[in-house]
Chain A
């Protein structure tokens, strides 16, 4: 009786370990964002080849063949997390200048609200942010049908907040010149994002 009791307890404990282990990505992540960042760091993912339009209706892609790209996702009406991201990107822009990384790193803010954020509306936003087009482009998708695949690839989830805005996760996504998403970092990890971006563009040039 005692033996079977012990076996029963062992089976139960094993089931609990399996359930918790699966839920936490092998006891490494409690949140979806952490798990996604670990997945991407372990296995970079190719980003979709889609067309983005900036304030001048000029076409861009998520990938730049010369430089690494630090991508974030915003909507210009946002007054919470996007304002913080705007400040972070201004700092990133001045850091790129200060470190002389213009030929290695570029910045890209992608609006996930193409209905409101038309190219015409992106202009005043870019001016307000004092975005230098040589370093920092602010764009939105040319075809809104491409948006779900992009958000999916980057692990960004956008939900309506019920008062005509959105709630979304904010992070710095580093895409290397091969068009692979290689790192997802907390939105305040400015130095680390630049280091990772620079390292990947150097590695790309060495390979070529």
Chain B
């Protein structure tokens, strides 16, 4: 392992550690739960994916089973979508075992997404980003507009604010992707 890889793993492991240690304050509001804790865990997974890459036979197998990274990216999007379901959020707050499952699935999804993104074509990348943007914006609008509370763990104003923040983050993400595409022309098909 190079020094760079060690640093990435240390950052990732400490991020997960911080997320575990601050579980109750982070899960006390919907905003911190959805917009801080979930991205922290997924991001830690991506860092681990950057540091640790499969080699040799494993790498060849990964490429054959995960053609264009589609299978891996589908799984990662599925994990993110699952933890946006209000019932799943409630269950994670109430049951430690489900919260542990959330942690493991998000870290795994982050690592898998990192390695799938690497082999994905521009078309697949654009599709995945577009789909995620659509999904988070829709969830945001649902949270903003819902006439009743959707989570038994969180209040109505928290829910509305989370909705607004999700829409804002989606817009920022789309703008960021557009800037990235502008600066890295090979990223999009000619």
A residues with a Cβ closer than 8 A to B are 1-2, 4-5, 7-9, 11-13, 15-16, 19-20, 22-25, 29-35, 157, 159, 161, 167, 169
Contacts and interface: CB of A to CB of B under 8 A. Distances in A.
Given A30-B87, A35-B87, A167-B155, 15 more contacts: A8-B64, A8-B67, A9-B67, A9-B74, A12-B75, A12-B78, A19-B78, A19-B79, A20-B81, A23-B82, A23-B83, A23-B87, A31-B150, A31-B152, A159-B155
Interface size class of B (residues with CB under 8 A): 20 to 34
B154 to A, nearest CB: 8
Interface string B43-86: 00000000000000000000011110011101101110111011
Q: Is the interface of B mostly helix, strand, loop or mixed?
A: helix
A159 B72 CA distance: 38
For the complex of A and B, the 4 pairs showing the least CB-CB separation, nearest first, are A16-B78, A5-B67, A8-B65, A12-B71
B87 A24 contact: yes
B9 to A, nearest CB: 26
Q: Is the interface of A mostly helix, strand, loop or mixed?
A: helix
Contacts, number: 86
Given A9-B70, A15-B78, A30 B64 contact: no
A120 B74 CA distance: 59
Contacts of A33: 152
